[in-house]
Amino acid sequence: MSLQDRAGLAGARRVVVKVGSSSISGENAEKIQPIVEALAEAHARGTEVVLVSSGAIATGMPFLLLDSRPSDLATQQAAAAVGQNVLIYRYQEALRPFEIVAGQVLLTAGDLENPTHRSNARRAMERLLGLRILPIVNENDTVATHEIRFGDNDRLAALVAQLIGADALVLLSDIESLYTRPPGEPGARPIHHVDFGDDLAGYQFGSVVVNSVGTGGAATKVSAARLASTAGIGVLVTSADLVFDALRGDDVGTWFAPNPTPAAVPGTAPIRVAVD
């Protein structure tokens, strides 16, 4: 059953947590440890945790001697192939002291669009959780194409939360909460709570940001939060640095209240991304 407020995260049955590339790659690679410690704490309480982690391309870049995110698809795929391996190793090493085993799950947009693949993905995830494995999900960047992909892992996390019937979705980013306008601008105010159906048209969340390591931004988080909350899943958007507070149900971040009468939401059609 979905949570009606963020306080319920402390006793949630099943939670999907998403972390972005910029929070766990480059000079922030050491942040994997505290994120894992927070996940392990929730796991020890009995919560079933699924981690959706970006960062394969960003993690692979130094091994390919790249200073910035590659623009061509083939190099992105090569960086992802190298980086995914390293990324999972880092997570597993951080999980080892807690005697938690990670299970890698790589998905493409087609996997959640095709009913058979979707059913297979759900069955595999359910079995992993039943075995107390911590699934780590990412888009399968090595085989994904520019034309058909999720577009960003915030959307992937929302779809995974729907797929497994999560109680809540936690989207971790670089800022403590969403703001009414870019936080550096005068008059920007933090948004504490968004009731289902609230009109956010007056707020300025900006467009998708493409930086040196990944893609994302406030707009993608709002879109993903809307997708999950429409399906009856409460969503918390906050900083990766506040992951302990978030999973303990503390009063942090921006909470999107779930739809009180959710209907089946298709939400699995791939995003078609324009190629420059």
* 175: Cβ contacts below 8 Å, ≥ 6 apart: 183, 218, 239
Go through the chain and tell me how many residues it has.
Answer: 276
Q: Tell me the binding residues.
A: 18, 54, 141, 153, 173-174
Q: Does domain 6-256 bear CATH number 3.40.1160.10? A: yes
Helix H or strand E segment including 107: strand 102-107
Q: Per the structure block, which two tokens stand in for 46?
A: 């009995």
Using DSSP, state whether 103 is helix, strand or coil.
Answer: strand
Q: Tell me the binding residues for substrate.
A: 54, 141, 153
pLDDT in tens, 62-101: 999 999 888 888 998 899 999 999 999 999 999 999 999 9
Q: Tell me the binding residues for ATP.
A: 18, 173-174
Q: Per the structure block, which two tokens stand in for 163?
A: 């797929």
Check if the beta carbon of residue 222 is closer than 8 Å to that of residue 260: no
Could you tell me the pTM of the whole model? 0.89
Domain ranges of the chain: 6-256
pLDDT in tens, 149-180: 565 789 999 999 999 999 999 999 888 999 98
* 22: Cβ contacts below 8 Å, ≥ 6 apart: 28, 58, 174, 211, 213, 214, 216
pLDDT in tens, 94-110: 999 999 999 999 998 77
